[in-house]
Each structure stands twice: as C-alpha cells, then as structure tokens.
Amino acid sequence: MTKSHSETGPEKAAALPHATRYYDDVSVGDELPPEEVGPLTTSEVVRFSCSVETFFPLHHDADWARARGWPAILVAGPFRHAILTGLVTTWAGPEAFVRETDISNRGSDFPGGTLRLTGTVSRTWIEEGLGHVEVETELHNDTGQRSCYGRVVVVLPRRGHGHVLKIFEAPEELYSWAFDDDADVA
C-alpha cells in the first residue's frame, strides 16, 4: 500500500510524525495535508479485516461477495476509520492524544481503489486547561464518492503547559497489580 503526502511546503514538514503540533498554532479552517492510500490490494483488505476480527464473508470471500451482487470484497469500516484517524494523528504529532472519534461509513470501497483522505479543523477549545481540536475528516474513493466521513477530537499540548500524555497517565493503583507476582487477577 502506498501512502503519499501532498507537497505543501512548511506544512509538509509539520505533518511528519516526529513534529509536535501545539494547540496555540492551530486555527479553525486549517486544512490537514491530504493523503492518498492505495491502490489497495486484496491481501491488505483481508489482512486488516482479520486483524480486527471482521469475519463477515463480504470482507474476505470474493465468490461470496460476487454471488450477492458486489463487484469484489468490501473494505471493512474499521480500516477506513483507522486511516482517517491516522490522518489526524500524523498531523497532530506524537504529543497528541485522541480524545474522541465519530466516523460514519456511507459508501463502498474495494481492492484496487485509491482512497483520498482530507481533514479540516472545525473547532478549537480549552477544557480543564487542555487544548482540544476537532477535525472534520472525509474519505473519497476513485469514483469521487465520499464513502466515509466524520470527526476526530485530539488534545494537543499548549505551549508552556507541559505534556498532554502526562495528564492522561493512569494512576499506578490501576495497573500495579500487573507487575505484582502475588496478585490474584483471576
């Protein structure tokens, strides 16, 4: 599977996974660098479907799919959700935390197709001292159909306010039993 980022000058550098994006530098209307995923292979579609335990025949059995009027197996919804969320997390950088996703499947995508992913910042707000950014996402297939869309909310670090992930660390008492040889976890 190929993945390409658009050539957008300084924005391209800011979209790299190692770049930290700060809430203070984001504005409503900002567009994320678009990505293309594909052309998708049948193996990729089947492998992902199995990895998320989507065993419905429409996602792995071409004969079954064709017998029911489909041209090929169907790309599973969780795959599309994952790549749209990935579009946002790549843009947001390693200090971001995904707070919420709400993504809806509204069309069909098939192996052999290339998916085009876009995102636009639709809302920003500070809640409990944390910088929240809502991104409206869309996925278009080769026919131009908007087959999947939704929103992803990420929490970004604010300049001078520390790391976001430190704020979301679980209290030790929630996981300390995992490292206690005498703990009864049955």
Topology (CATH level 3) of domain 11-179: Thiol Ester Dehydrase; Chain A (3.10.129)
Mind listing the pLDDT tens digit of every residue in the chain (186 residues)?
444 333 433 454 454 556 889 999 999 999 999 999 999 999 999 998 888 888 889 999 999 999 999 999 999 999 999 999 999 999 999 989 899 999 999 999 999 999 999 999 999 999 988 899 999 999 999 999 999 999 999 999 998 887 766 555 555 665 555 555 555 555
26-45 CB burial, b ≥16 within 10 A, e <16: beeebebbbbebbebeeebb
Each domain of the chain, given as residue ranges in start order, spans 11-179
Which residue type does 156 have?
L
User: What letter would DSSP give residue 76?
Assistant: P
Question: Distance (Å, rounded) from C-alpha 19 to C-alpha 17?
Answer: 6
Structure tokens at 140: 């278009």
CB within 8 Å of 91: residues ≥ 6 apart? 14, 15, 21, 32, 33, 119, 135
